[in-house]
Amino acid sequence: MAIGISLTIRARGNRGLTGSVSPFGGLVVEEHQNHVHGSIFVVKFGGSSLANGEKISNAVKAVAKELGKGAKIAVVVSAMGKTTDFLLETIKEAINCEKMACNTDVDDVLAMGERTSARIFSAALKANGVRCRYFDPSDPDWPIITNEVPMNADPILEICEGRICKYVLPLLNEGVVVVVPGFVGKTSDGKITTMGRGGSDITAFVLARALKAKQVILVTDVDGIMTADPKLVKSARKIPQIDINSLIGLASSSYKFLQRKALKYKEDWMDVKIINHAHGDLGVEGTVIKGSLTRNTASVDFSEAIASITIVGKGLSQSPDILHQVVQKLRISEVQLLGFSANYDSMIIYIPENMLDKVLEPLHMVVYDNSEAIAMAVRKNLALIKIKRAELEETPGVIGGLTRALSMKGINIYGLFTVASGIHVFVDRANVEEALAVVRKSLEEN
């Protein structure tokens, strides 16, 4: 058995030497950085955390405190308070709204909020004795390069990462705090762009990807992601940790956390922490978002044949007792529920076809015993195609494109519903391979 002895030799600064004695003789030494000291953090301050001079001062002190612990920090700033909304409303009044989407001057105006925040934040850092450098899109070494889509540009990742490593990383390694206006980009030929709602978060994630940051810290006006909207539910509590795909399931809520467009730039290894600026401490506990978005995929989700059971009646949705009885029958029969949909007068249950014999009689008794229900029918030999689309709720026409593409190939749909960022489509099992190919092609085109 080979035996090695591990040791750490302390060197100057924050770095140490980790070594082991090789069983073959000699000391194998590997230089490494301390787990905390020297780690890179990307900190994004939202508009609410920069709403006035006092809040900016508190934000700067929080950065200085973390810097004093040996961290390397890149700061991304949003526009102060509601500045962007004010600029947008003002320019809407001044310009024909129909022409805004193609007017490059709008991007230039909207970018002023973040560009001003970066200057103020940098000045406050210097006043606190912190070495810093703010980047502006007018600089030749500006790191965030985008395509040319007005008001909703996308970063060109390969170019961004190259410029970040060339221009931003060396400054961090010298102990300089870098300040970058979020939301703002520049095309390869020098035009100012903006990246739409969530644009400052995009800036933070793109920086973190290139810098291999230990954590992205999003400083906002909430303690983290809650179990419910605290404006609606008083008993809502903070969630310490949540997977990104669970977070996406809350997309239809009016209580917004992060824009979907931004989250698609989060890598699986990248921890994102949401904290409240009121604490004045970047190390405070908040909610940590783990994982990465499921990319656009389409697959057959269940290998065996599927059956649908349709129950029709009058006002079924007004009779929760019927739904309760149906669910109880499925549970008692130990039947796997693959899908469920309902409207005012009917409900459809999707289950494995080989479990029909266990549940048909019990479900028929529910129909027979309730006057609101009239009859039930069964369709066999179905297949389920499950589609994951990262920006489903924010991309108009995806479902329309799918249904048109299947219709053109003569493939009927026997059930379709959305669940969070997923689409479930039931088709005839005999056509499932062709349907899957059509769906994948439609996703690529949309």
Q: How far apart are CA 270 and CA 292, in angstroms?
A: 8
* pLDDT at 349 (0 to 100): 95
Mean pLDDT of 334-349: 91
Q: How far apart are CA 411 and CA 98, in angstroms?
A: 39
* pLDDT at 257 (0 to 100): 66
Share of residues in the chain with pLDDT > 70 (%): 85
CATH number (3.40.1410.10, 3.30.2130.10, 3.40.630.30, 3.40.50.300) of 297-445 reads 3.30.2130.10
Query: Model confidence over 257-306: pLDDT tens digits?
Result: 677 788 889 999 999 999 999 999 999 999 999 998 766 788 998 899 99
What confidence category does residue 11 fall into, taking pLDDT thresholds of 50, 70 and 90?
A: very low
Which residues make Cβ contacts (< 8 Å) with residue 339, sequence separation at least 6?
348, 349, 350, 384, 415, 417, 424, 426
Which tops the pLDDT comparison, 295 or 27? 295
Neighbouring CB atoms inside 10 A of 66's CB total 21
* pLDDT at 159 (0 to 100): 98
What confidence category does residue 417 fall into, taking pLDDT thresholds of 50, 70 and 90?
A: confident
CATH class of 40-290: alpha beta
Mean pLDDT of 154-164: 98
* pLDDT at 146 (0 to 100): 98
Quickly tell me which residue has 């940051």 as its tokens: 213
Kindly report which listed range (153-167, 183-197, 243-257, 364-378) carries the lowest average pLDDT score: 243-257
Q: How far apart are CA 425 and CA 388, in angstroms?
A: 11
Sketch the domain layout of the chain as residue ranges: 1-34, 40-290, 297-445
- Average pLDDT value for the chain: 86
Whole-number Cα distances in Å, 426 to 56, 66, 263, 342, 346: 53, 53, 29, 15, 17
Q: Positive or negative, the Cα torsion across 231, 235, 241, 245?
A: negative
* pLDDT at 139 (0 to 100): 97
305: exposed, middle or buried (Cβ count in 10 Å: 0-12, 13-18, 19+): middle
Residue 57 in contact with residue 130, Cβ under 8 Å?
Answer: no
Strands 40-45 and 215-220, sheet pairing? parallel
Three-state secondary-structure class, residue 334? coil
